[in-house]
Amino acid sequence: GESVGLHLPTLSVQEGDNSIINCAYSNSASDYFIWYKQESGKGPQFIIDIRSNMDKRQGQRVTVLLNKTVKHLSLQIAATQPGDSAVYFCADQDFGNEKLTFGTGTRLTIIP
Amino acid sequence: DAGVTQSPTHLIKTRGQQVTLRCSPISGHKSVSWYQQVLGQGPQFIFQYYEKEERGRGNFPDRFSARQFPNYSSELNVNALLLGDSALYLCASSLVAGNNEQFFGPGTRLTVL
């Protein structure tokens, strides 16, 4: 079936360095992509989103890149901080459909 | 402003029992979705309600049911609990249905013994 998956389950990055979290999706009908951050004991927190008619979107210290040709999504976090340590999920949505399909998640650990 | 709230925060039940989880969306949000998150996995879609009507259902058995009230709050009911129902149950709200940022609550941690 269709699924959203992640390449790496864990990632450790030195504080201050940049990090890149990757995600592959298989649903060609996906129209909307979102990155969520989930800290221990909390619900997922929206980080940044991108629609299928874009290939890049920037926020504060975060950038999402979308490559529709290879169905690949990435989240770049610049100048990582200890508070960035969390599990990061990518999720996708079909047009007009509320359902989010989540990947397994990548645990990002920032090393002081 | 209050975010999405869920109650209770933790719950322990035994197999065969029934449970009701509650969710209050952000003020003004009319769409509520429920997700199940098993430890170590991403959330799985259970239901979506918009304007008190079911708009989507995930691949969950009929033991799972939900409803939305006139004030847009929602309840998720699970009957005949199984050990495998142990999970974090998340509620998310959005302003309208479809392609809109969904805001998640902190979840209800359900443990079935």
CATH of residue A76: 2.60.40.10
Distance from CA of A70 to the nearest CA of B (A): 22
Rounded CA gap, B67 and A52, in Å? 32
Q: Which of B42, B50, B98 has its CB closest to that of A102?
A: B42
DSSP label at residue A39: -
Q: Does A1 touch chain B (CB under 8 A)?
A: no
Give the residue on A whose Cα is nearest the Cα of B4: A43
Rounded CA gap, A3 and A24, in Å? 9
How many residues in chain A?
112
With CB atoms and an 8 Å threshold, state whether B99 touches A31.
yes
pLDDT for the residue numbered B99: 58
pLDDT for the residue numbered A6: 46
CB A98 within 8 A of CB B31: yes
Q: Residue B80 is part of a domain; what is its CATH number? A: 2.60.40.10
Rounded CA gap, A18 and B42, in Å? 24
Which residues on chain A are in Cβ contact (under 8 Å) with B103? Answer: 46
Tens of pLDDT, residue by residue over B45-96, are: 999 999 899 999 999 999 999 999 999 999 999 999 999 999 999 999 998 7
pLDDT for the residue numbered A2: 39
- Structural domains of chain A, count: 1
pLDDT for the residue numbered A28: 83
Rounded CA gap, B93 and B30, in Å? 7
To the nearest whole number, what is the mean pLDDT of chain A? 89
With CB atoms and an 8 Å threshold, state whether B99 touches A100.
no
Q: Which of B40, B58, B99 has its CB closest to that of A93?
A: B99
Q: Which domain holds residue B52?
A: 5-112
- Structural domains of chain B, count: 1
Q: Which domain holds residue A50?
A: 4-111
Tens of pLDDT, residue by residue over A57-102, are: 999 999 999 999 999 999 999 999 999 999 999 999 877 777 899 9
Tens of pLDDT, residue by residue over B8-45, are: 999 999 999 999 999 999 999 999 999 999 988 899 99
With CB atoms and an 8 Å threshold, state whether B33 touches A89.
no
Structure tokens at B104: 């998640």
In this prediction, residue A45 has a pLDDT band, given cuts at 50, 70 and 90, of very high
In this prediction, residue A103 has a pLDDT band, given cuts at 50, 70 and 90, of confident
